[in-house]
């Protein structure tokens, strides 16, 4: 029994539970540590090939209850031999390995988190190919804090890629603060339905036949590109009130056989399919996902499951780095660091460039703080003597230097331009062609475009469609 007198708190529970799980695994048992929606733990021990005697079981039970206090369930220790569905639980794809456990231990330790929201932050995957084997490149634009110019950057990037000859679809996933639809298509060209409509209709099996995309009235410089928009909200049907808030209040529920994550992924695919049914008969080359800010399920699904590249927007301040630090730590502890870091790239938004505030000085500071933050996702250098040969060999460490301009932490800059404040594209024709807009986004576009268009899976082989 523990001699501590102060109660165990949430943040202490997992650091206390994992050593207990490792101690059981060191005795030759595979274990699954399950945390419920309240944060309480149950340890499941796979005893099917090796019985557990009562003395050992009682010792483990005492350790769990004594050390974790309120953060154990009413049944803190369960043997797999007592479970009817042991195989499905122990082999759950949602369970992740204990990343801090050295390889080659006697037993395996895995962790299964059950949460109300945010579970998809810990489930990294890549978009599935279409039936013909092609894959549309998807780029997510995300900011931990709002007000960093993410939606405007989405619009500028979309038009630029269209000018490069690509068929671009912009999907507005900022459901609580929609803006990309009206910004790119204009309020008079919105389709009758939006992403929110697809999410609520899919929950009742009635998502077929929705009008969810529209072609923007934008003439590209090349003459070959197209710009399509899938807004968060549609214009509605004449004579029928459009209950956007009522729909929004229902979209996030996980329903039997219809999780929010699956419905969101289905909505994005439906938008891509709808574009293919348009005048040109082409599927999008590039999809830009304008994600909601903050640690939210929309962003979790968008970054972890839907995109190939995630542009992380931020300003060089304490709020930005505290927020991304928490997010990166969650990816690290969930075992997803290797998969997720391949998708990430920082964007330094609203970068000052004046006599009093040098752009270079600002970016040097941004880069250093981003590097410190990203170190959570980078590998420590593994000594050559610790490496093995054969199937069990450790992967090469990914530990870029501070000055590596291709690393995820290296910032892609968007300059701060006072003219962008209060700019109303609806009343400013050809706003994207104005000199101050071009100056603000020049370096950003030059750096991002190759990251997107060089994707070898694009139908044009990375050369656009011109």
Question: Averaging pLDDT over each range in 88-102, 117-131, 245-259, which range is the top one?
Answer: 245-259
CA Rg value for the chain: 25
Q: What pTM was computed for the model?
A: 0.79
Write the CATH number for 160: 3.40.50.300
Note the pLDDT tens digit of each residue in 290-337.
998 888 888 888 998 899 999 999 999 999 999 999 889 888 877 778
Q: Which of 27-31, 128-132, 182-186 has the lowest mean pLDDT?
A: 128-132
**415, β-bridge pairs:** 351
Do 83 and 201 belong to one domain? Answer: no
Same domain, 104 and 133: no
127 shares a domain with 107: no
State residue 424's pLDDT score.
64
Longest dimension (CA), the chain: 78
Give the count of domains, the chain: 2
Summarised one tens digit per residue, pLDDT across range 420-432 is: 766 666 666 677 7
Q: What angle do CA 411, 417, 420 make, to 5 degrees?
A: 110
Specify if 458 maps to a domain.
no
The verdict on 165 and 282 lying in the same domain is: yes
Q: If you average pLDDT over residues 421-444, what whole number do you get?
A: 77
Residue-range definition of the domain harbouring residue 54: 10-114
Among 114, 146, 177, which residue terminates a domain?
114
| Cα 328–chain centre separation | 11
pLDDT single digits (tens) 245-286? 988 988 887 777 778 888 999 999 999 999 999 877 899 999
Q: How far is CA 393 from CA 102, 109, 219, 344, 406, in A?
A: 13, 19, 53, 26, 26
Residues 269 and 146 in one domain: yes
| Residues 364 and 414 both lie in one domain | yes
Beta strand spans in 307-462 (E): 309-314, 344-351, 412-415
386 lies in some domain: no
How much is the average pLDDT of 230-254?
Answer: 87
pLDDT band at 124 (very low <50, low <70, confident <90, very high): low
One domain, residues 162 and 195: yes
């Amino acid at each position: 029994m523990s001699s501590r007198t102060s109660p165990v708190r949430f943040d202490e529970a997992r650091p206390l539970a994992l050593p207990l799980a490792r101690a059981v695994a060191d005795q030759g048992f595979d274990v699954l540590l399950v945390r419920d929606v309240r944060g309480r733990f149950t340890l499941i021990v796979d005893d099917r090939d090796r019985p557990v005697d009562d003395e050992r079981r009682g010792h483990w039970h005492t350790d769990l209850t004594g050390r974790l206090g309120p953060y154990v369930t009413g049944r803190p220790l369960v043997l797999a031999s007592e479970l009817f569905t042991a195989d499905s639980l122990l082999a759950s794809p949602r369970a992740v390995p204990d990343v801090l456990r050295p390889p080659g231990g006697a037993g395996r330790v895995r962790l299964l988190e059950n949460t109300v929201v945010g579970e998809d932050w810990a489930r990294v995957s890549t978009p599935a190919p279409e039936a013909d084997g092609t894959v549309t490149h998807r780029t997510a634009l995300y900011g931990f804090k709002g007000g960093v110019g993410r939606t405007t950057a989405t619009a500028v990037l979309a038009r630029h890629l269209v000018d490069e000859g690509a068929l671009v679809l912009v999907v507005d996933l900022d459901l609580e603060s929609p803006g990309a639809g009206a910004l790119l298509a204009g309020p008079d060209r919105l389709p009758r339905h939006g992403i929110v409509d697809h999410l609520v209709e899919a929950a009742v099996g009635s998502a077929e036949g929705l009008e969810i995309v529209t072609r923007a009235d934008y003439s590209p410089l090349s003459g070959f590109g197209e710009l399509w928009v899938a807004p968060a909200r549609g214009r509605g049907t004449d004579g029928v009130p459009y209950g956007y808030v009522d729909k929004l209040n229902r979209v996030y529920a996980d329903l039997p056989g219809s999780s929010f994550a699956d419905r969101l992924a289905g909505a994005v695919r439906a938008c891509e399919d709808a574009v293919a049914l348009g005048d040109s008969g082409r599927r999008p080359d590039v999809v830009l996902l304008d994600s909601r800010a903050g640690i939210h399920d929309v962003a979790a699904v968008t970054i972890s499951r839907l995109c190939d590249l995630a542009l992380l927007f931020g300003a060089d301040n304490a709020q930005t780095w505290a927020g991304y630090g928490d997010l990166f730590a969650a990816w690290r502890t969930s075992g997803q660091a290797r998969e997720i870091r391949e998708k990430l790239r920082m964007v330094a938004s609203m970068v000052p460039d004046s006599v009093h505030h040098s752009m270079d000085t600002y970016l040097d500071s941004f880069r250093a703080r981003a590097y410190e933050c990203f170190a959570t996702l980078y590998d420590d250098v593994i000594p050559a003597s610790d490496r093995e040969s054969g199937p069990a060999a450790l992967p090469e460490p990914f530990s870029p230097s501070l000055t590596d301009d291709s690393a995820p932490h290296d910032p892609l800059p968007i300059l701060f331009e006072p003219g962008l404040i209060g700019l109303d594209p609806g009343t400013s024709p050809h706003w994207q062609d104005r000199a101050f807009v071009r100056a603000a986004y020049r370096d950003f576009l030059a750096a991002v475009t190759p990251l997107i268009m060089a994707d070898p899976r694009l139908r044009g082989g990375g050369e656009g469609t011109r």
